[in-house]
A and B are shown apart, each in its own frame.
Chain A
């Protein structure tokens, strides 16, 4: 076990989220969301975790371009991989929620379309890497592409969907920043939501570091 205190913290936080998240009293507004508002403890953190993990990935991409250290490239690659897993988890959980909240799993909501676009952009990252045999070239071109992909992530997920009418909160016509606006959420929701953000993000980082360590071992074996 390496540096295990934060892994234990992850376990504690997520056990808290997984138990108290179902027991905490949630506000009932007009009977549309009902208990499904508890998805903010599970669906929303997937996106928070993905954003953080992909940010770490792009930091290592820049680092690799500056240092040319293959270790940085492995970090960048494996964090991008884990981020993609979380984006799929977020997409599928969102589709389940949408099925019962908006009537259809996919209703061409701007945010859903933006998600599809950014997921495809990140999938192309792996296609691009896989198509280059030269290790140095693969690392460099991959890192540059990673930066471009990251630049598209925020517009497609967080900016463009909010400039048009959207089923998601925070579209055109609504004011403020949904969810992250402290006045939009009740105290009891925040009590679970914020730890959930931290806990799921830590879980993602944990999985990504495991993959990095596995990849480093593999490289050593092959070298």
Chain B
């Protein structure tokens, strides 16, 4: 849930920036738009971790059932 909220905040944050491409002075457009890459990498990592935790839980449940 917390992770989902984090994701939401990143998405909403990213969306705020899309309509202001003409102004390269804001945070996401500063420093050669490196923060866009940071956001992308974080989304990928968080998605990957959610997936792995899910998989881990599923296997744990199966292990419990098998015992």
Do B52 and A19 touch across chains, with their CB atoms under 8 A apart?
no
Q: How far is the CA of A210 from the CA of B58 in the complex (A)?
A: 10
Q: How far is the CA of A22 from the CA of B36 in the complex (A)?
A: 10
Do A210 and B45 touch across chains, with their CB atoms under 8 A apart?
no
- Cross-interface CB contact of A1 among B35, B42, B53, cutoff 8 Å: B53
* Chain A, interface SS category: helix
**CB of B23 closer than 8 Å to a CB of A:** no
**CB of B11 closer than 8 Å to a CB of A:** no
| Interface residue total, chain A, C-beta cutoff 8 A | 18
**CB of B5 closer than 8 Å to a CB of A:** no
Do B66 and A22 touch across chains, with their CB atoms under 8 A apart?
no
Chain A residues within 8 Å of B49, by CB: 11, 14
Chain B, 34-67, CB within 8 A of any chain A CB: 34-35, 37-38, 41-42, 44-46, 49, 52-53, 55-57, 59-60, 62-63, 66
Do A210 and B41 touch across chains, with their CB atoms under 8 A apart?
no
| Interface residue total, chain B, C-beta cutoff 8 A | 20
Give the residue name and chain of the A residue nearest to B39 (CB). A19
- Cross-interface CB contact of B66 among A1, A4, A220, cutoff 8 Å: A220
Chain B residues within 8 Å of A14, by CB: 45, 49
Do A7 and B41 touch across chains, with their CB atoms under 8 A apart?
no
Chain A residues within 8 Å of B63, by CB: 213, 217
- Cross-interface CB contact of A19 among B42, B57, B62, B66, cutoff 8 Å: B42
Chain A residues within 8 Å of B60, by CB: 1-2
Give the residue name and chain of the A residue nearest to B55 (CB). A210
Chain B residues within 8 Å of A213, by CB: 59, 63
Chain B, 16-47, CB within 8 A of any chain A CB: 34-35, 37-38, 41-42, 44-46
Given contacts A18-B45, A22-B41, A220-B66, contact A206 B57 (CB under 8 A): no
Given contact pairs A22-B38, A217-B59, a sample of 15 additional A-B residue pairs in the complex whose CB atoms are under 8 Å apart:
A4-B56, A7-B53, A14-B45, A15-B46, A18-B38, A18-B42, A18-B44, A18-B45, A19-B42, A22-B35, A22-B37, A22-B41, A207-B52, A214-B59, A220-B66
B interface list, Cβ under 8 A from A = 34-35, 37-38, 41-42, 44-46, 49, 52-53, 55-57, 59-60, 62-63, 66
The 3 closest A-B pairs by CB, nearest first: A18-B41, A22-B38, A18-B45
17 contacts between A and B (CB under 8 A): A4-B56, A7-B52, A11-B49, A15-B45, A15-B46, A18-B38, A18-B42, A18-B45, A22-B35, A23-B38, A206-B56, A210-B52, A210-B55, A214-B59, A217-B59, A217-B63, A220-B66
A interface list, Cβ under 8 A from B = 1-2, 4, 7, 11, 14-15, 18-19, 22-23, 206-207, 210, 213-214, 217, 220
